[in-house]
Copies of this chain bind each other. A is one copy, B any other.
Amino acid sequence: MQKSEFEGKIKGSHQEENSNGRIRIPMSSLGNSNNIFWQECPVGKLERQKLINQKGCVVWITGLSGSGKSTLAFSLNRQLFSRGKLSYVLDGDNLRHGLNKDLGFSAEDRTENIRRVGEVAKLFADAGMICIASLISPYRKDRDACRAMLPDSNFIEVFMNTPLSLCESRDPKGLYKLARAGKIKGFTGIDDPYEPPLQCEIELQQIDGVCPTPTAMGGQVVSYLEEKGYLEDQ
């Protein structure tokens, strides 16, 4: 533990962020000299990463409803766990019951929904975790805004390139049926566009008309993370 030096009472002091993103606290010259102290540095991302032997990042899974995002998220989550790596799934639907419960489905609210998930994912990555965000996130500009929040290429975009016809045939939540019947408006893929990524890190799709298994899909992402050093001891 880093030692603190005190000459008396606690005193807040000016904080400056240095190039490592760590907070440096210069000795304050304000007020009573008895109040001067060195504030302990907060633990930085590198230290957290060393503690848990991995590198924090965001795996952002995008695709149509029914494209297999949650399936991949759970499989990846499980496979990372089995390797002793700490990951956490941020599920778009679940967050709409909590953090984003004040948001609807207007274009503006969708953008805000994704912005907040991006901000939270960024915090998780900074905490050293492998954050798996699973959201339809249909608009390119919203996803790119989340990518821009993450430094050093720690945003790994995974595109579930599953044909609309297959997603619709699965229709796990019955939403396509409602959208086709006009009971849901602005449904992605039906009457609202899905903009596929132009440059994503990973694209998952059918091979010869057969979808890869969840284990195979998760494995593909694990391999990517391994190759890029996210699973190595830091």
Taking Cβ atoms with an 8 Å cutoff, the residues of A that contact B are: 1-2, 4, 6, 8-14, 23, 31, 35, 37, 39-43, 47-48, 51-52, 66, 68, 70-71, 73-75, 77-79, 81-82, 84, 86-90, 98-99, 102, 112, 116, 119-120, 122-124, 126-129, 149, 166, 169-173, 210-211, 213-215, 218
Say whether B214 contacts A10, CB under 8 Å.
yes
Write the nearest CB–CB distance from A113 to chain B, whole angstroms.
12
Instruction: Give CA–CA (A187, B170) in the complex, Å.
Output: 54
Task: Please name all residues of chain B whose beta carbon is closer than 8 Å to the beta carbon of A129 when the two chains form the complex.
Answer: 127, 129
Q: How far is the CB of A102 from chain B (nearest CB, A)?
A: 8
The residues of B that contact A84 with a CB separation of less than 8 Å are 51
Q: How far apart are A228's CB and chain B's nearest CB, in angstroms?
A: 21
Q: A47-B81, A88-B127, A90-B123 are in contact. Are A215 and B4 (CB under 8 A)?
A: yes
Known: A77-B43, A120-B123. Contact between A169 and B31, CB under 8 A? yes
- Please determine whether B128 and A127 come into contact, CB atoms closer than 8 angstroms: no
Distance of A75 from chain B, by nearest CB (Å): 5
Tell me how many chains of this kind the complex includes.
2
- Are A170 and B88 also in contact (CB < 8 A) when A68-B12, A71-B10, A120-B120 are? no
Chain B residues with Cβ below 8 Å from A119 are 98-99
**Residues of chain B contacted by A23 (CB below 8 angstroms):** 74
- Among B2, B6, B102, the residue within 8 A (CB) of A78 is B2
Write the chain B residue with the least CB distance to A25. B74
- How far, in whole Å, are A59 and B123 apart by their CA atoms in the complex? 17
Residues in B with CB closer than 8 Å to A112 are: 102
What residue of chain B has the Cβ atom nearest to residue A117's Cβ?
A: B99
Cross-chain contact B86 with A99 (CB below 8 angstroms):
no
- Across-interface contacts of A1 in B (CB, < 8 A): 78-79, 81-82
- A14 touching B172 by the CB < 8 A rule? yes
Query: A216 to nearest B CB, angstroms?
Result: 10
Roughly how many angstroms separate A32 CA and B89 CA in the complex, as a whole number?
Answer: 29
A127 neighbours in B (Cβ, 8 Å): 86, 88, 124, 129
